[in-house]
Structure 1
Amino acid sequence: MVLDLVVIGTAITLGPLHNSAFILLLSANRGLLKGIVFLLTWLAELVVVVAVVLLLTGGDPPSRQSTPSTAALAVKLTLGVALVFYGERRRRRGPTRPRGKPKWMARLDRVSGWTAAGLAVLLQPWAMVAAGGATVVKADLSSAVTFVALVSYFLLASASLLVMELYATFAPAKAEVGLERIRVGIDEHQDQAIVVLSLLIGLWLVGSSTYGLVS
């Protein structure tokens, strides 16, 4: 479970869309506040998904080969196949948009705090979050290792946002230049990043879930 959460959390935090949008939010009027709203909403979504799973399992992982355990692995396998299919389809299709900020991103300097929260919901990579939820089926709340793993997952999946928020808070002048440079780099390689992340995390989920089903 721990390794799966590390892989999934890393894939979530590296997603290009939400990172690019977050940088634009930080550069907007009252950007730090909007960034905090986005970050807290992002974290809340992760926590809610995990909490729902733990409520269903009672914090007691089902035994191997049981129906809930098999169902969780089947969900991960399905999500993995879907991500591989999406990544490969996007790779074959190639770039589908012009360079530069999409129109909706160009308007982020005028959004409200509520809109920032809504963006956090829309830009969350829900397939990967669902995979994280399916992985948490194995969580045993009687173990301290489980709490450490879950907290680490939350922090890892939000790490890029947290680092950028702190950077903009404590070094605003440098952050304005540095984050814009990062955003431009993300924009230039966005399609490639989406393809690579989709294929890698998809193949990981397919491999780990298949192993769990046959072992």
Structure 2
Amino acid sequence: MVLDLVVIGLAIAVFPLSGTAFVLVLSAERGICKGLAFILAWLACFVAVLAAVLITTGGEPPAPKSAPSTAASAAKLAIGLGLVGFGWYRRRNRGRTGQRRRSSGGLMSRLDRLSMWTAAALGPLLQPWGLVAAGAATVVSADLSHASSYLALIGYCLLAASSLLTMEIYTTFAPDSARVRLGRLRTWIETHQEQALVSVALVAGLFLVSRSIAQLTS
């Protein structure tokens, strides 16, 4: 479970769409407060998904080869295949991304005027839900009778949110330097967003496919 959560958490942390949106939120007026609202809503939704899974399982992992265990592995396989298909589709249609990048200026002007509540709503909305679902399917095997499972879940949550938390803390304590560096980061993401999105989708998808097949056939 731990290896799966580390890979999924890293994929969530570097997911370019939510990262780009968060950089734009931080660059807006009162960006630090809006960024905090974004993160709190993001984390609340993220933790709620995990809590729902743990409540359903009662904190006890299903027996190997049981119906719940097989269903969780099958769900991860389906999500992995979906990510691979999504990555392949985006790779085949890279030429159509220019228009999306040109629209970022209009998006920036809208984000300058967004309210605190809207910033909070963007957090859950822009989560990579396919990866979040894969993490939820992995958490099915968590055994809460061991402290190590709690540590793994806490580490997973922190790892998934690490990029957002790092940018928020950096902007809070070094606003001038952060403004310059986040501006460069935004430019880099906008230039390489499609390649990053394809890479994350394909790597995470292939990992989930291989792991789920191994679990289903072992």
Give the TM-score of the pair, scaled to structure 2.
0.96
The corresponding residue for 1:67 is: 67
Find the counterpart in structure 1 of residue 12 from structure 2: 12
Cα distance, 1:102 vs structure 2: 5.9
Q: 2:206, 2:200 → 1: CA distance?
A: 10
Q: How does 1:27-176 map to 2 (within 5 A)?
A: 27-98=27-98, 99-100=101-102, 101=104, 103-176=106-179
1 CA distance for matches of 2:66 and 2:48? 25
**What's the Cα RMSD here?**
1.0
- Number of matched pairs: 215
- Percent of aligned positions that are identical: 55
Could you tell me how far 1:117 is from its partner in structure 2? 1.3
Aligned position for 1:177: 180
Q: Distance in 2 between matches of 1:130 and 1:95?
A: 29
1:79-115: per-residue Cα shift (whole Å, max 9, x none)? 0000000101111111323244263344111101111
2-structure distance, mates of 1:141, 1:204:
25
Give, in whole Å, the separation in 2 of the partners of 1:24 and 1:121. 16
CA displacement, residues 16-58 of structure 1 (integer Å, 9 cap, x when unaligned): 1111111111121111110000001111111011100000100
| AA in 2 matched with 1:92 | R
- Code of the residue aligned with 2:48 in structure 1: it is V
CA distance in structure 1 between the aligned counterparts of 2:195 and 2:108, rounded to whole angstroms: 19
In 2, Cα distance between equivalents of 1:162 and 1:203: 28
3-state SS in 2 of match to 1:192: helix
Separation in 1, partners of 2:97, 2:198:
15
**Structure 1 residues 146 and 42, CA, compared in 2 at 3 Å: closer, same or farther?**
same
Work out the CA distance in 1 between the residues paired with 2:121 and 2:110.
14
Residue of structure 2 in register with 1:25 after alignment: 25
Q: Secondary structure at the match of 1:138?
A: coil
Q: Which amino acid aligns with 1:155?
A: L
1: CA distance, partners of 2:10 / 2:95:
24
Distance 2:144 2:109 in 1: 44
| Contact 1:21/1:105, CA 8 A, preserved across alignment | no
CA separation of 1:207/1:106 partners in 2, compared to 1, >3 Å: closer, same or farther? farther
The separation in 1 between residues aligned to 2:67 and 2:163, in whole angstroms, is: 36
Equivalence for 1:191:
194
Deviations 1:166-198 (A, max 9, x none): 000000000000111011000000000010000
